[in-house]
Amino acid sequence: MTNKIKIHRAIKDISQEQLAQAIGVSRQTINTMEKNKYVPSTVLALKIAKYFGVMVEEIFFLEETD
């Protein structure tokens, strides 16, 4: 699974820390998700999408190998 969290953060001009605080996780969690080393739970993915005001599918994508 890949994601566009970093792109959406850039659009809103917020840091990893700001996003982390807004959704109740650590900055390291945001960092590992952006590097595709951690796949978030459904609840966390929904929180991220809600924060950015988009659907989950606009941020998270399945790859051919998933």
Q: Which domains does the chain have, with CATH numbers?
A: 2-53 (1.10.260.40)
Tell me the pLDDT of the chain averaged across its residues. 96
Question: Is the pLDDT at 63 greater than 90, yes or no?
Answer: no
Write out pLDDT tens, residues 13-27: 999 999 999 999 999
Write out pLDDT tens, residues 50-61: 999 999 999 999
Find the mean pLDDT for residues 38-63.
Answer: 96
Q: Is 64 exposed, middle or buried (0-12, 13-18, 19+ CB in 10 A)?
A: exposed
d(CA 45, CA 56): 7
Q: What is the pLDDT of residue 66?
A: 74
**21-27: long-range pairs with CB below 8 Å, 24+:** 22/51, 23/47, 23/48, 23/51
Instruction: Return the percentage of the chain with pLDDT > 70, whole number.
Output: 100
